[in-house]
Amino acid sequence: MKNGKKPTLRQKKIMKASGLVPENWLVVKDLGSELHVVSRMSLKKIGGKPKLRKLQTVD
């Protein structure tokens, strides 16, 4: 998995619309119609898989 990046303002709006708190998530991949985010807390845990979500964008 690649390193997550801080979300932009547009990405934060998409996360808020999906019910997520943008401060707790990092953007892994930004496709035109899909946004892949990973939880910051799951990256800090030792062992286990990071929590990944795919959000649909409505532009």
Please check the confidence at residue 2 and state whether its pLDDT lies above 80. Answer: no
Q: Is the pTM here over 0.75, yes or no? A: yes
For residue 33, the enclosing domain spans 9-56
In a domain, 32, yes or no: yes
Number of domains in the chain: 1
Q: What was the pLDDT predicted at 51? A: 84
Cα dihedral 11, 17, 23, 28 sign? negative
Q: 3-class DSSP state for residue 35?
A: strand
The answer to whether residue 2 is domain-embedded is no
How do residues 7-45 score in pLDDT, each as one tens digit? 999 999 999 999 999 999 999 999 989 999 999 988 878
State the pLDDT at residue 58.
74
pLDDT value, residue 43: 82
